[in-house]
A = this chain, B = another copy of it.
Amino acid sequence: MSDTARTWHFNRRPDGDIASDTLALRAAPLPTPGEGQCVVRTIYLSLDATNRVWLSDWDIYMDPIRLGDPMRGFLLGEVTASRHPAYEPGQLVCCLGPWSDRFVIDGEALQPFPDASGLPLADAFAILMIAGPTAYVGMFDIGRIEAGDTVVVTAAAGAVGSLAGQIAKLKGCRVIGVAGSDEKCRWLTDDFGFDAAINYRTEDLVPALREKAPDGIDVHFENVGGEVLDAGLTCMNDYGRVVICGLISTYNSRDPVPGPYMFRNVIMRRLTIRGFVILDYADRYPEFHAALLEWMRAGSLRYRLDMVEGLEAAADALRLLYTGGNRGKLMVRIGAEPAQ
């Protein structure tokens, strides 16, 4: 290995959509790890809708990325050198780290990757790191799903949405997914076991929801915002729960984005609209991982990975999330998996 690391940096704040000069890939010598630090070789980088939020000048849920700083993401890596007592070379770790092929990081910022033996490593990382815990908290803690509930999931073919819908099915709910193509709708019903699917690009949402959810919606799990959220609010049942997991349709907007026009239904239907950020639930990851691993090993959770090859492809790949161009959980393969 060379002593040089390649890292994507936040180069220019985007005015609307992420542009070709928003991020810039730069090479620099790898620093020497200090006391308590580790060197990590990146294997997989997760691309997530919330990455765009970190590049905004909004007051967000954590420190934003400052111009010039390394771009940040959720990643899986292998420790190659350690000056922290809890880690040793060869160990698999995950963290919120730089978009880099290797990097030096405080050991305190790392988490050991859980034992997912018997499962493909890429799948385990894709589900256990962010998407699975997000779907789990969103459905159980925020949505408070109960058997028999009618649940709508938007961006349902996406990483979080497809798991959220399957978790609701495992709980005994009737689940309707909203996605952006007929092909994705077929995944929902044929692969992921949803009860029904709606293509928001070709169908009129409110009539379609009234048809597919004739008894109304008890829990609406929102990843998109805008018209899709409005349609869900229109069809909610009394005392319904609206889980605001993501608002991807609004993240690239130059201008102020209006909230849902059917906001009055918060009163008319006595709704609870609640947002959450999975980073707040770090202490419950063992619970999430135990449940998710059990379902994965039982074959109860289906999953699609959209794997992009190579660190240099990461910046262009990120843009796919905001057009719906990805076909499954978007990840970047940056380094080889360790030999078994």
**Highest count of chain B CB atoms <10 Å: which of A246, A271, A275, A277:** A275
Query: Does A274 sit within 8 A of B, measured CB to CB?
Result: yes
**Would you call B263 and A270 a contact (CB within 8 A)?**
no
Q: How far is the CB of A183 from chain B (nearest CB, A)?
A: 29
Number of identical protomers: 2
Query: Does A13 sit within 8 A of B, measured CB to CB?
Result: no
**Would you call A259 and B263 a contact (CB within 8 A)?**
yes
Supposing A259-B259, A261-B259 touch, asked if A270 and B58 sit within 8 A by C-beta, the answer is no
A267 to B229, CA, bound (A): 14
| Contact count band on A | 20 to 34
**Would you call B280 and A267 a contact (CB within 8 A)?**
no
**Would you call B267 and A247 a contact (CB within 8 A)?**
yes
**Interface segment out of the listed A65-73, A105-113, A156-164, A250-258:** A250-258
A44 to B250, CA, bound (A): 49
**Would you call A276 and B268 a contact (CB within 8 A)?**
no
**Would you call B267 and A275 a contact (CB within 8 A)?**
yes
Query: Does A264 sit within 8 A of B, measured CB to CB?
Result: yes
A256 to B61, CA, bound (A): 30
**Would you call A61 and B268 a contact (CB within 8 A)?**
yes
A244 to B60, CA, bound (A): 23
Interchain residue pairs with CB less than 8 A apart (7): A225-B263, A247-B263, A259-B262, A267-B275, A270-B276, A270-B277, A273-B273
